A and B are shown apart, each in its own frame.
Chain A
């Protein structure tokens, strides 16, 4: 079979398939980064844009893809798969979709490799770009952040669709026939994005109703770790294209001929592309176990390295601060957040009562310093879940800790919008006094304890006194008129 394909054609075809696979992975992962993608058209070919499409190359993704391929090409029985999954801040994960690049045995001997196959692969990539915005996981990935992140995993070999739940759908992106087989690209995606059920009793309430269907602690049979989709390397911020530099510095074919195939000339400019220095973010290791955090202003630290038996790398959501430690700490750091005003102390005493107080939410929040805050340093795992649960639950209610101040020691109260100590009476003091005014004396209990009988008994005496002073009273009334 291969004998009919010229060596040059075979070489070209292998190159096309390899770079098509790499670009496919880039498109899929970039579509799940959670941001809109925009690349510029360029009328003059640079020689580095494979398939005449401006698709940026994230170096880590290329690295992972090459690692998964391990020098092989997708072929018959050897599929390249990109698995997209969702991982909540509680550690539950769910597979959302699996993109499969496969090859079947149906060959198209007549097709022109370096022209028709190339153009059709380009068309297929365009279709992939469009379809990745249409599957359900796209919307989820655009909303990732605090509560969940989207991860990807690349593997090579047999397609595994077990994790997609019942009733998963498959959509075919397209097919391209080649002399050695037909390349097909398809996506199997989960449709059952139901709320948690059953297991709820064992776990805390989900935050804001995260869509979770199952959360098996997945035994990763393969060695391919999960990677987050929402990270950036510093190199990416430079903008523009950087060609995927691989060992042989191959560049793509951008020249075509309108003359008959036998005279086709394809100048390939191997070795002519300058090697762009890759800009790995500090701390990134080649094995992909640590990944840099994304480019938000509150993210200066790197994600924790979590030692796990399966070599799984985890990135935390955008709100996390990096801390190294056990998975438990990792779990907890995703919830670390600055304690702002009106944040409830995460204690079990928090009640939704005392709502009848006006401005209950402004009631003095018993805020301890961060060191003793349960949210930041959970004492141990059994308690870990309930404070988180309680704090999150109470975030949604406007209940306050309208308890008496006797139970807590006020360390510091920072009411929002108050200036610091210009007046002797600051806002915090005002709140305190306002919320706990002294009882009116007339309403005090002593008075009400008096009985009616006593009142009646004292009446005649009072009447006698008033009659004696009647003249004074009359004179007083006259002065009023």
Chain B
């Protein structure tokens, strides 16, 4: 099937990077996480409960909802932290793109390794600006808050189109579809990667592409 991809773009100040990216990633993962599956005999399974938590942003005038899972939050924060550092190190007024890709694993026969087939990609492009004074920062805080709200609405609109989702797997296949490593929730298999472009708008010659999250590190 074709992988659908969505691109969201936002202009932010350096200190807003972390919160805006987390807001977007958490909103996507809220919709792409399920409770833990418990398989019973006769091919039936039951699903655990997903809790939610409100998060207020400090540098952006916005509140987002995330899944109540500290493990997931820590993992995302790690990735976002690296993205933020890379963005800052690339110099001021740069831009970068962080991608959240949902994929399915397809078992291949030896000696070939398993294939990762993406079915949905969310790309979040950030343009970083520097602001001169506190008044501008205050305006930016509110404006970015509004824009972030719009992005959240965009995400929800896409989610509710009810396009392709992987079929619910049997017990033996569940690790090919879901990330079962977390204790309390079960998101679809995902990986996060990012790219930094310098302020000239061209790709940096050494494009950094890191796979932050890979459940099956072969």
Contacts and interface: CB of A to CB of B under 8 A. Distances in A.
A24 to B, nearest CB: 14
B31 A126 contact: yes
A225 B27 CA distance: 34
Given A42-B48, A173-B156, A133 B64 contact: yes
B45 interface: yes
A16 to B, nearest CB: 15
Contact of A45 (B30, B46, B53, B68): B46
B82 to A, nearest CB: 25
A254 B156 CA distance: 24
Interface in A39-85: 39-46, 49, 52-54
A414 to B, nearest CB: 38
Interface residues of A, number: 42
Contacts of B54: 36-38, 133
Interface string B180-194: 000111000000000
Nearest to A129: B65
B36 A43 contact: yes
Contact of B52 (A39, A171, A173): A39
A123 B36 CA distance: 16
Interface in A328-383: none
A204 interface: no
A38 B159 CA distance: 23
A44 B48 CA distance: 5
A161 to B, nearest CB: 19
A133 to B, nearest CB: 4
Contact of B153 (A41, A131, A139): A131
Contact of A124 (B42, B44, B47, B160): B160
A129 B34 CA distance: 15
Given A39-B68, A54-B51, A120-B162, A258 B35 contact: no
B152 interface: yes
Contacts of A49: 49
A248 to B, nearest CB: 21
A409 to B, nearest CB: 49
Contacts of A45: 35, 38, 46-49
A127 B160 contact: yes
Contacts of B34: 52
Given A53-B52, A54-B49, A130-B27, A42 B64 contact: no
A265 interface: yes
Contacts of A43: 35-36, 38, 48, 183-184
Given A39-B52, A131-B156, A138-B63, A256 B68 contact: no
B68 A38 contact: yes
A387 interface: no
B184 A41 contact: yes
B51 A257 contact: no
B53 to A, nearest CB: 5
Given A127-B160, A258-B170, A42 B153 contact: no
B interface SS class? mixed
B50 A265 contact: no
Contacts of B52: 37-39, 53-54, 126, 129
A171 B153 contact: yes
B67 to A, nearest CB: 7
**Which of A46, A254, A259 has the most B CB atoms < 10 Å from its CB?**
A254
A42 B49 contact: yes
A134 interface: yes
A255 interface: yes
A211 interface: no
A175 B34 CA distance: 19
Contacts of A176: 162
Given A43-B36, A43-B184, A256 B65 contact: no
Contacts of A131: 152-153, 156
Interface in B1-55: 27, 30-31, 34-36, 38, 40, 42-54
A256 B45 contact: yes
B46 A123 contact: no
Contacts of B118: none
Interface in B48-98: 48-54, 56, 61-65, 67-69
B46 A130 contact: no
B143 to A, nearest CB: 14
Interface string B139-158: 00000000001001101110
Contact of B159 (A37, A52, A123, A263): A123
Nearest to A135: B149
B168 interface: yes
Contact of A53 (B50, B61, B62): B50
A257 B38 contact: no
A53 B45 CA distance: 16
Interface string A236-263: 0000000000000000001111110001
Contacts of A126: 30-31, 52, 65
Contacts of B153: 131, 134, 171
A130 B53 CA distance: 10
A308 to B, nearest CB: 34
A130 B43 contact: no
25 contacts: A36-B63, A37-B53, A38-B53, A39-B53, A41-B69, A43-B36, A43-B183, A44-B48, A52-B34, A52-B47, A53-B49, A54-B52, A130-B27, A134-B149, A134-B152, A171-B153, A172-B157, A172-B160, A174-B156, A255-B46, A256-B45, A256-B47, A256-B168, A257-B44, A263-B43
Given A43-B38, A257-B42, 4 more contacts: A130-B64, A134-B62, A173-B160, A257-B44
Interface of A: 36-46, 49, 52-54, 120, 123-124, 126-127, 129-131, 133-134, 138-139, 142, 171-176, 254-259, 263, 265
Interface of B: 27, 30-31, 34-36, 38, 40, 42-54, 56, 61-65, 67-69, 149, 152-153, 155-157, 159-160, 162, 168-171, 183-185
Counting from the closest, the 8 A-B pairs by CB-CB distance are A174-B160, A39-B51, A54-B51, A36-B54, A41-B184, A41-B51, A43-B36, A134-B149
